[in-house]
Amino acid sequence: MISVTIYKEYNSLPVLDVKDLSFEEGKIYALIGGNGSGKSTFLKSMANVIKFQGKTDFGAVKPSEIGYLPQKNFAFDMSVKGNMMLNCGKRKKKDALREATELLEKFDLARYAKKNAARLSGGETQKLALCRLLFGNYKILLLDEPTASLDINSTLKAEENIKEYLSSRPTTLFMATHSLRQAKALADYVIYLENGHIEEITETEEFFRNPYSEKARLFLSFHTDF
Ligand SMILES: Nc1ncnc2c1ncn2[C@@H]1O[C@H](COP(=O)(O)OP(=O)(O)OP(=O)(O)O)[C@@H](O)[C@H]1O
Ligand SMILES: [Mg+2]
């Protein structure tokens, strides 16, 4: 079980206030909500990259087993393959090189293996950031809008790759997304945020069919993509 209490303010203004939440291990949670609702703040707090008041308890999962993909993607100023190798863990070099190439192929990036990653396009950089993260071995993944800059083909491929990762090892995934189609396709539960508060956490099918909070209902009424 993962338990979370987070209070975060910037300049004395609260931006996230969530209390005594519990999450089941091995499930996929989609974080949805408008701009500024607190999705990234939630993920940054979980990843422990910002200071906050409260506590996150990941049970037996060690900090090194938590993988975080920030919303602002970046690539290191070295080859695409070099970027991958930074996250090769304890693999032997030969295995790491082979597996890195296999994973790059799944993201349609293998042809850029020798290219300097700083020269990739915006979407390619995002694909590489996700690919590099999925080269690691994590028990909890925190993905902040992992496909926001991707075209639809790349998005569907990235979703397949995420699913493959999850099916190959027990992993809990928290993923912020503005794509309700994506939330519906991937998640077991939807977490709906507004104004730094979680208004609803509901099993995905039920959330899209019949959300219990008025706020989520209104939010869904503005969407047609699911
Ligand atoms: N470093 C910061 N300093 C001041 N305010 C911040 C900072 N980071 C975030 N905020 C504020 O906190 C609120 C929540 O931001 P957050 O990034 O969590 O939203 P979000 O739900 O991820 O939005 P988006 O969909 O645009 O990514 C926003 O109002 C934002 O302006
Ligand atoms: Mg965000």
- Ligand 1 centroid distance, CA of 173 (Å): 21
- Ligand 1 centroid distance, CA of 52 (Å): 14
Report the chain (226 residues): mean pLDDT per 10 consecutive residues. 97 96 97 98 98 97 97 96 97 97 98 97 98 98 98 98 96 97 97 98 97 96 86
- pLDDT (0 to 100) of residue 8: 98
Give me the long-range contacts of 89-98 (CB less than 8 A, separation at least 24).
89/136, 89/137
Domain residue spans of the chain: 2-221
Q: Is the CB of 192 under 6 A from ligand 1?
A: no
Residues 6+ apart with CB under 8 A from 104: 80, 81, 84, 110, 112, 113, 131
38 Cα nearest atom in ligand 1: 18
Coil/strand/helix, residue 73: coil
- pLDDT (0 to 100) of residue 225: 80
Residues 6+ apart with CB under 8 A from 72: none
**CATH superfamily for domain 2-221:** P-loop containing nucleotide triphosphate hydrolases (3.40.50.300)
Residues 210, 21, 72, CA angle at the centre, nearest 5°? Answer: 85
